[in-house]
Amino acid sequence: MTIRPITIIGHRALDQRARKVREITPELHALVADMVETCEAADGAGLAAPQVGARWRIFVYSCTDADGVLRTGHVINPVLERFGPLELDDETLEGCLSVPGEGFPTARHRGARVTGTDVDGRPVEVEDTGGVLARCLQHEVDHLDGRLYLDRLSPAARREALDAVRRRGWRDRSLVSWDPTRQAADEV
């Protein structure tokens, strides 16, 4: 397994819709294993394939559900269903490994369910009714659709986030990824 560099806002892989997985290959098994290791090394709640430069509809997760239980796994070709009210809690900041070191209040539905398959082709269903996991499922599927959480921010928060991106110089230099084995997300 390999810890892969994580793409940063501005990388074109983050702006494009990921492709559906049509065949499970040994390379795909390796990608999922690498994503799990990369997410763990970066101390992330989830990681989508485009965040490591792969344009497949795959994500991994490791976060708590509404009951405080740690849930881990991966989903290939996820189909997302959102339910419950759309909520914006100014105290809960959503972050992203592709916008490292930043966090902003982001409106998300209270609950989410994802269906898909695992790397062995078995059906997978992951559901949460209000924990970090529900937010994570929505966040990671957004990545697969070519969206960042910044796209969901209020206009004022979005301006603040884009100012932070400019301050860090991510749009002004050739920094397109960061290595979680060499630096913490807030150091990027």
Positions marked catalytic: 140
Q: Residue holding tokens 């492709």?
A: 19
Given the structure tokens 């290791």, which residue do they identify?
37
* Residue 143 annotated as lining a ligand binding site: yes
**How many CA atoms are closer than 13 Å to the CA of 35, on its beta-carbon side?**
32
Q: Is 96 annotated as a binding residue?
A: yes
DSSP string, 151-188: GGS-HHHHHHHHHHHHHHTTTTSS--EE-TTTS-GGG-
131 contact partners, CB below 8 Å, separation of at least 6: 63, 64, 65, 66, 67, 68
Q: What residue numbers does the annotated binding site for Fe cation cover? A: 96, 139, 143
